[in-house]
Structure 1
């Protein structure tokens, strides 16, 4: 049994704590927040093996440059004269290649499928009651060009063994009959499931605390002491902690802490927004509005509209233009649905940690023997949360990992 400290109490941190606890380790979780907000709470709730194409793909950087001065664009990269940002941008641009996509497809699919299935396993094993629906995910398209692109990706997914259907508009209406839709057609990923994130997070926190895992909220790790390539202690404002093993799962803040260890973890915060509506809108199927890159999820007691990727440093500012963009896009696809000012005013955001190549960082860095890094999942953190937690536990428990970890190595070169 090892004494383990997990830095970060989001989905990755809690799942790491869960699996470490299951292996019999003594676990403490430390988080700088109240652990009730952020990306782990405001995401679309998808468990989506369908998202096999990494964010860094051919043409994405070109689009990002074109959209740089458009505040309503799906991807907004704010230029900054900051060395970390410039290094990340260079590496991201370099990763926008066919080679990166081909390398990433299997690596993303494997960890995403494992992650999806582990949610079901946890729900069964612990008698959790969080929403877990296996309806699939619609990629709804308004133009022939986008429909062709989505069909192409769908056929790649089929080759990877994922069940996918191409739908005409009439077939789409049969699946989603109770709401007006403006679309040409859709691609249905039958492999995808969906959840309500808040419910899972609340149940997991309650389970961990009841099981003897110590959780320290509102404690920010300010310093890390290292001797002979090993962390000897970490320090918050008022307390010092020692442990045998440490897990860095601090999301978008992970690279700030990694610097204290001499590790150059290329990572940018990608802000996403969400609007909730508690009205009965008639939507029963999770969907991505493809041209607008907006996610729609029917959750427990409300429907969530989420989207945008805003790379502009670590901040929680709510850009009302981008909130309005989500609302306007929603009405273009669902003409009868107009999100109210009250719903838009209650919009919140979360910061997703984005690596340059679209793959997470999972594993030990050569710079520190007793540190396991688990971050950089971008938009797939929710899908990969459980599988990442399991992999972290296997690494620390000296077990053979469930997956080949080479593609996720934190010391990989870009």
Structure 2
């Protein structure tokens, strides 16, 4: 049965929800408070990464986070503040940093990432998309023995999950990256990963959806949600009052604010990430993670992107130059012949990633609202999991069996 569905949020998750909903025959409207041309969906590393199977909330992360709290250039920076939502999130995050949680989360993350990668390929083939896409894998580059051993442990877990990954020596790296000088001792190569140029895919997807009758309302902030008998009867912006049969909340880091209007308390914090682009030839062929610095390197279509850091400091779009410098310094540390220029660093941009306490997204219906499906909290895995999330959301709206078991991602789960 065809339904009218409003998707709140025009980022990668919202667009993929809209894509699969219209495929199911629903009439879809996408509403976003921005112009839909910036933010996390445009500045991310573009990875489709089944390799990233370890959730952010892993043993030892909170300890590192407390240590790094006093260093604004650290890979993970948690700004302390006396905010009830932040304190609840911090408590739940610390509670989730266990080996048992990681063990349970790995299959969920792996299944969502693998399905999503397959769905990206299907979209490209079925809709004749031409945006940049390559499946060259990803290198995990290490400068210390401790980091290398940690990556080898992750590689072992990934292999047990059926993912293709090999240890690589310096000799191997010279063959894989013949045009760059690397200051590393070795690493691993996840052959299962792919990468894209995000703005190209976003532009192509929006254009496609418009041809299929999906309506877009940009620069429309949701002011209120009219709830009666645990059901949304209207969505209100300054300009319009919208009605629909079903609503999808895919507003990224802003999802927690909107869910509160419905009495749903999503534990969610904005994790700011930064990117620096260079259009100069770098010689870099393969995407890589600079493991000790937690910096991502992506050879995109016509430029190379360097991105990273997780800055949990509330919702804002301020550029912290200390963190930009940290990324630039890491690049030169691993690629000694490459130095990013002042202009390139001055052109840095940021995006806010919605981070749940346990490293798993929120996907599903809360018991507090019968016609709302939540799709948020993907943190650094939003690009990787977007198509799979969109597919599952469309199946929930259409009252079909879901392609994946997302029970661990339920919005009402306890921490």
TM-score range, shorter chain: over 0.9
Q: Shift of residue 131 of structure 1?
A: 1.1
2:411 corresponds in structure 1 to: 410
Would you say 1:358 and 2:359 are equivalent positions? yes
2:191 corresponds in structure 1 to: 190
Inter-partner Cα distance in structure 2 for 1:64 and 1:169: 31
Cα deviation, 1:174-231, whole Å, max 9, x if unaligned, reads 1001011000001000100000000000000000111110000000001001001100
Cα deviation, 1:69-110, whole Å, max 9, x if unaligned, reads 101100000011110000000000000011110111000000
Would you say 1:313 and 2:303 are equivalent positions? no
The alignment partner of 2:136 has SS state of coil
Q: Shift of residue 49 of structure 1?
A: 0.3
Cα deviation, 1:319-350, whole Å, max 9, x if unaligned, reads 00000000000000000000000000000000
1:322 corresponds in structure 2 to: 323
2:343 corresponds in structure 1 to: 342
Inter-partner Cα distance in structure 1 for 2:378 and 2:171: 36
1:227 corresponds in structure 2 to: 228
2:399 corresponds in structure 1 to: 398
The alignment partner of 1:262 has SS state of coil
Inter-partner Cα distance in structure 1 for 2:93 and 2:101: 10
2:154 corresponds in structure 1 to: 153
The alignment partner of 2:390 has SS state of helix
Cα deviation, 1:21-60, whole Å, max 9, x if unaligned, reads 0000000000000000000000000000000000000000
Q: List gaps (5 residues or longer) in structure 2.
A: none
Inter-partner Cα distance in structure 2 for 1:288 and 1:238: 44
1:291 corresponds in structure 2 to: 292
Q: List gaps (5 residues or longer) in structure 1.
A: none
Cα deviation, 1:285-334, whole Å, max 9, x if unaligned, reads 00000000000000000000000000000000000000000000000000
1:164 corresponds in structure 2 to: 165
Q: Shift of residue 246 of structure 1?
A: 0.1
2:89 corresponds in structure 1 to: 88
1:257 corresponds in structure 2 to: 258
Would you say 1:268 and 2:265 are equivalent positions? no
2:35 corresponds in structure 1 to: 34
Q: Shift of residue 118 of structure 1?
A: 0.6
The alignment partner of 1:222 has SS state of strand
**Superposition RMSD in Å:** 0.4
Cα deviation, 1:265-303, whole Å, max 9, x if unaligned, reads 000000000000000110010000000000000000000
Inter-partner Cα distance in structure 2 for 1:266 and 1:93: 13
Q: Shift of residue 405 of structure 1?
A: 1.6
1:176 corresponds in structure 2 to: 177
Alignment of 1:274-285 (within 5 A): 274-285=275-286
Inter-partner Cα distance in structure 1 for 2:132 and 2:115: 18
The alignment partner of 1:118 has SS state of helix
Cα deviation, 1:335-380, whole Å, max 9, x if unaligned, reads 0000000000000000000000000000000000000000000000
Would you say 1:386 and 2:393 are equivalent positions? no
Inter-partner Cα distance in structure 2 for 1:342 and 1:273: 15
1:125 corresponds in structure 2 to: 126
Aligned length: 414
Inter-partner Cα distance in structure 2 for 1:352 and 1:71: 18
Would you say 1:301 and 2:302 are equivalent positions? yes
Would you say 1:79 and 2:80 are equivalent positions? yes
Inter-partner Cα distance in structure 1 for 2:72 and 2:279: 27
Cα deviation, 1:221-247, whole Å, max 9, x if unaligned, reads 010010011000010012100000000
The alignment partner of 1:208 has SS state of helix
2:107 corresponds in structure 1 to: 106
Inter-partner Cα distance in structure 1 for 2:66 and 2:191: 34
Cα deviation, 1:108-145, whole Å, max 9, x if unaligned, reads 00000011111110000100001110100000001111
